[in-house]
Structure 1
Amino acid sequence: MNRIKILTLSAFCFSAFAADHLPPFPNWSGASAQLQKEAQHPWVTPAELSGLTTTPSYDETFKFLDRLVASSPMLRMDMIGVSPQGRSIYMVKAGTDPEQIGKDGKPVLLVQAGIHSGEIDGKDAGLMLLRDIVQGEKAGLLNDVNLLFIPILSVDGHERSGKYHRMNQRGPEQQGWRSTAQNLNLNRDYAKAEALEMQALLKVLNNYKPDLYLDVHVTDGEDYQYDITFGFNEPMHAASPNAASWLASVYRPELNQALRQAGHLPGPLVFGLDPLDFSKGISGAHFTPRLSNGYGDIRHIPTVLIENHSLKPYRQRVLGTYVLLEHSLKLLAEQGKVLQLAKKADENARPASLTLAYKASDTPELIRFSGVASEIRTDKITGLQYRAWTGEPKLYEELPQYWENVPAVEIDVPAAYWVMPEQHQVLAKLALHGIETTRLKSAKTIQLQQLTATQWSFAQKPYEGRFTTDAQFKRDWKKIRLPAGAVRVSTDQPLGRLAVALLEPTAPDSLFHWGFMPGMFERTEYFEPYAIVPLIEQAAKQDKALKQEFDDAVKADKALAGSAEAKVQWWYQRLPYYDQHYLKYPILLEH
């Protein structure tokens, strides 16, 4: 038998290929370049030693931070968790008194880098900024505000480093991996909170309750002129409308101005609708609680998703991130009390109804957009048709942006949810999120709404480590005897909307959707024909109305009429022997 040896591309020498396979980009020389220190500086960061073309390893990063923290009483570094591979996850606390952060009333800025550790701009920008605060002339930044900085959240992914991880990203030379050692994408894990890294982060959010939360990423996708883009759930579809209004009316214009003055071009988050025709427009997404800015919105922590443009050089992106972080500190020092009041107003709101999911409007907003010209090409080898970006600036005077602001799933907010005591995973998740609960000491009977699945489907392949579930439900009111140990989750609490998002099964990131309750779809008791047939005959003889209902059903349903098994199942479902928990959602609603 002939054996064919198949070589992967990694077997070839990539140096034989073109030096840069990415679209061309214009030279950049912004004012923020002066922030970069030369190699001879006593506190030069590891990335600056290479001219901001590389990023340090985990060990190199924390060697520098250990030295920096030891040099100043304004810094302290805490271990907030341990990764699946056993690496420590650290957070730097920076303030005039780090031990009083969260207690002294000063506004708190949380900056998180490396949730996707190939997108590591925030780490190197943060190291430079901390250096300039404690070893430069910027200590005044922390007079009226505190900073929490997580340099690397996905530490295992960070150490899965290589040159060929992100083919659509211009630097650094070595890049970490997008997912964790357990192959979980942390920025899809906020609601289900399965990763150890995410559980560590939730403890930080619960303990410190930051007033502003910045999550630093690098984009995928299209080419355009903007180098720093950022966004959040807008007031039109936010669960925290007061904070969203502050972000839209104060934060965005102030940061845009600061970035422009430093030589950068800030812009909106860009999610193209058609990979072959950019002129069709972009999405104005509503972010759900699986994502950082969706999660922050629903638990009333003003959260900004920063997406630096992957096609811009690493140096340019890092310096732009530095400017954004510095001016976020300045703005929070000035506006912190205003933002705290907005945040408190959102926490105190108790809406009677809640929109859980949105769909895009058919009517776009037309925006002015600084894009890049492109052309459609066909690859000679594969026949693939694709959009090639030319690097030439192109201004779209009226680019359509389709906002996701049309309600798709709406519910009346219940007074409370009742979680049965056997739902240990659900109760553990609620505790992780910091949601308040009370446990029933003795059994009692109350009128509750029970949900029964009428149509359901299961994912055919895993997504983020789970097989998701979707269903439609019939809702009935019943007197139900709750056992001792049942847990009441009131929606009359600051995290009430988060409780709804996790426990309402039709919500896009509910624990039900993430597949935490598969047992409700299984029946474990059975019957034998010799036992059920006499029961059916007896029921038909004694209950004339039920017999008539059966006859009418047979006339109306051809499938039922033609199947003896279906007829037996029809009767079985109406006998007292039928499993009364089958298809019943194991969480009850109190209105």
Structure 2
Amino acid sequence: MHKSVDFQTPFENSNGNETPTYLQVIDFYIQLAKEFPEINIQTIGETDSGYPLNLVTYNPDGNFNFSKIAEEKAIMLINNGIHPGESDGIDATMLFFRDLAAGKLPTPKKTVVATIPVYNVGGALNRNKASRTNQNGPVSYGFRGNAQNYDLNRDFIKADTKNARTFSEIFHTIDPDVFIDNHVSNGADYQYTLTHLFTQHNKLGGRLGEYLNTEMMPELESGLSENNWDITPYVNVFNRVPESGFSQFMDHPRYSTGYTALWNTLGMMVETHMLKPYKKRVEGTYTLMAKMLGIVEKDVQKIKNLRKHAGTRHVDWTYYPVKWAIDTTQTTKFNFKGFEGTMITSEVTGMSRLKYDRSKPFEKEVVYQNYFIPSDSIKIPEAYIVKKGWHKVLELLKVNEIQFNTLEKDSVIAVESYKIDSYETMSNAYEGHYPHYNTSVTSKIQEINFTKGDILVPTDQPGIRYVLETLEPEAVDSFFNWNYFDTILQQKEGFSPYVFEDEALEMLRNDPQLKEAFEAKKTGEEDFAQNWYAQLDWLFKRSEHYETAHLQYPVYRILKQK
């Protein structure tokens, strides 16, 4: 038994009104590790702030070699402070680790708990008292943007930040079975302090997704309810009342749980309600983590077996979904505890505004749309070939432990080749980018000359979902949609009209089919018929001068042999 040590936190000493600074958090865990051999703290990698990320681990056996731990135990990873103004998890996890080490909570025999105490270090250092406009405490807190003003919960795929790359290193070192990311919500008003946002179960897929939806989630809900901590699915509505119904949030791979799902980790975000007192929000987060640890401890073997099976299920896949839509044929109904909301005239704008009345609580049945179906899929190739000049792509494949080879000699290979057919681009900046969306491609089979050093990425590997989500341009969070390949969208060589006019005329004289198509386009499209430059450009793009690199996607697909 350890001697009794009073590791009181700033949260406790302030009666639940304050959260510690970044340096106070790290010092707390350093002191905890000195006192308890069950606790280990280490620094891993870099962040944009100049400080490293810290990983704190609790294992009653005192073994902190994750490759050994994973053979016998489940691993639960808790991420805190991705948005440091949402500090509930930072405080709750400090209490949670202290109480596990001190024996105030049941000692797990089959589960190891790890945490990133503060993920957004730069944001935590940028402390203020006003940026969380709608939040009820704590007194002061960190800022949402990191040291480069990135929202880190949009950065897991594009990995613009050192934080995201270090997270990938930690994640692949630990290979957690369960992942919890602690947040605070914005949006509607209701009675709950706790809401959950599990990774979308259809997207997670298979028996693993079914377990998440039909066993883990209901057990967490009922366990919390038994302790008078009601919880609801994340209320995904803004500026309307929740009882009108709402849908599950789709966590694409840009988000933490969307990213971890690519490696079959059972993930959830905790979203405490911004308007509830800070003390209550921290206590609720603490209770939820304790309940989840109990579920993992009970279901260790089931979870590990399901993840093992999920890691090989791709051998039976032919197609992979790259886009999802709500399945309107299936819904879930549950009793929701809310407050009456009405539209009243705003004294500020004179227009209608939503007003909740907390003196009028209710419990009503709501319709929750938490089933999704693929809206677009691609046929899975045997491998991709990435031209060697795309260095950032190669770097991220390495960071995410994607297996690949390099061509040892120049080779002519039959591949499926994509041309970017159409896309739309956001008009406003979003997380350092102007992302594309609604991307579509045309494809054809070609024999392409590849050169020594080009990258061959097989799909039959543990990271298959990461490979497909990033290299298929039509996928929502593809590298193409995040602007990695924007240089192919700009034509580099053009023509002088007065010179090309003569050649264009010769092309039409010598190619009856081209002339027929040209005349048909002029007849059918008035704008084209009235635009002399568009006509010459159309012909130029069908000449030998038009560069093959324009709109040519530089990632090629080697199709599976039938």
Where on the TM-score scale, by shorter chain, does this alignment land: which range? over 0.9
Evaluate the alpha carbon distance shift between residue 298 and residue 554 of structure 1 in structure 2; reply closer, same or farther with a 3 A threshold. Answer: same
Q: How does 1:117-266 map to 2 (within 5 A)?
A: 117-138=84-105, 141-235=107-201, 237-266=202-231
- 1:502 corresponds in structure 2 to 470
CA contact (8 A) 1:371 1:394 kept: yes
> For residues 300-332 of structure 1, what are the alpha-carbon distances to aligned partners after superposition, in whole Å with 9 as ceiling and x for unaligned?
111111111112211111112112222222222
- 1: CA distance between counterparts of 2:487 and 2:239? 41
3-state SS, counterpart of residue 242 of structure 1: helix
TM-score (norm 1): 0.88
Q: How does 1:349-364 map to 2 (within 5 A)?
A: 349-350=313-314, 351-362=317-328, 364=331
Query: Number of residues paired by the alignment?
Result: 549
- 1:319 corresponds in structure 2 to 283
Match status 1:580 vs 2:545: no
Match status 1:61 vs 2:29: no
Aligned residue identity for 2:364: E
Q: 1:84 aligns with which of 27, 48, 53?
A: 48
- 2: CA distance between counterparts of 1:542 and 1:130? 79
CA contact (8 A) 2:243 2:336 kept: no
Aligned residue identity for 1:186: L
Deviation at 1:143, TM superposition (A): 2.7
- 2: CA distance between counterparts of 1:163 and 1:560? 58
Evaluate the alpha carbon distance shift between residue 333 and residue 401 of structure 1 in structure 2; reply closer, same or farther with a 3 A threshold. Answer: closer
Evaluate the alpha carbon distance shift between residue 145 and residue 366 of structure 1 in structure 2; reply closer, same or farther with a 3 A threshold. Answer: closer
Gaps of at least 5 residues in structure 2 are: none
- 1: CA distance between counterparts of 2:295 and 2:242? 34
Evaluate the alpha carbon distance shift between residue 59 and residue 148 of structure 1 in structure 2; reply closer, same or farther with a 3 A threshold. Answer: same
- 2: CA distance between counterparts of 1:581 and 1:391? 61
Q: How does 1:268-279 map to 2 (within 5 A)?
A: 268-272=233-237, 275-279=239-243
Deviation at 1:216, TM superposition (A): 0.7
> For residues 341-389 of structure 1, what are the alpha-carbon distances to aligned partners after superposition, in whole Å with 9 as ceiling and x for unaligned?
1111111112211222222344554322111222323222332432222
Q: 1:337 aligns with which of 287, 301, 318?
A: 301
Q: How does 1:544-555 map to 2 (within 5 A)?
A: 544-555=512-523
- 2: CA distance between counterparts of 1:312 and 1:324? 16
- 1: CA distance between counterparts of 2:558 and 2:381? 6
- 2: CA distance between counterparts of 1:560 and 1:379? 50
Deviation at 1:531, TM superposition (A): 4.4
> For residues 118-162 of structure 1, what are the alpha-carbon distances to aligned partners after superposition, in whole Å with 9 as ceiling and x for unaligned?
111111111112112223444x52432111111110111112222
Q: How does 1:491-570 map to 2 (within 5 A)?
A: 491-529=459-497, 531-570=499-538
Gaps of at least 5 residues in structure 1 are: 1-39
Deviation at 1:455, TM superposition (A): 2.3
CA contact (8 A) 2:197 2:249 kept: no
- 1: CA distance between counterparts of 2:241 and 2:281? 27
Evaluate the alpha carbon distance shift between residue 151 and residue 500 of structure 1 in structure 2; reply closer, same or farther with a 3 A threshold. Answer: same
Aligned residue identity for 1:117: P
Deviation at 1:404, TM superposition (A): 5.4
- 2: CA distance between counterparts of 1:171 and 1:196? 29
Which one is further off, 107-116 or 404-413? 404-413
3-state SS, counterpart of residue 375 of structure 2: strand
CA contact (8 A) 2:224 2:230 kept: yes
Deviation at 1:526, TM superposition (A): 2.7
Deviation at 1:71, TM superposition (A): 0.7
- 1:291 corresponds in structure 2 to 255
CA contact (8 A) 2:200 2:249 kept: no
Identity of aligned residues (%): 26
- 1: CA distance between counterparts of 2:282 and 2:552? 52
- 1:421 corresponds in structure 2 to 388
- 2: CA distance between counterparts of 1:562 and 1:260? 69
Evaluate the alpha carbon distance shift between residue 553 and residue 154 of structure 1 in structure 2; reply closer, same or farther with a 3 A threshold. Answer: same
Deviation at 1:541, TM superposition (A): 4.2
Q: How does 1:454-465 map to 2 (within 5 A)?
A: 454-465=421-432
CA contact (8 A) 1:102 1:209 kept: no
- 1: CA distance between counterparts of 2:220 and 2:521? 65
CA contact (8 A) 2:47 2:166 kept: no
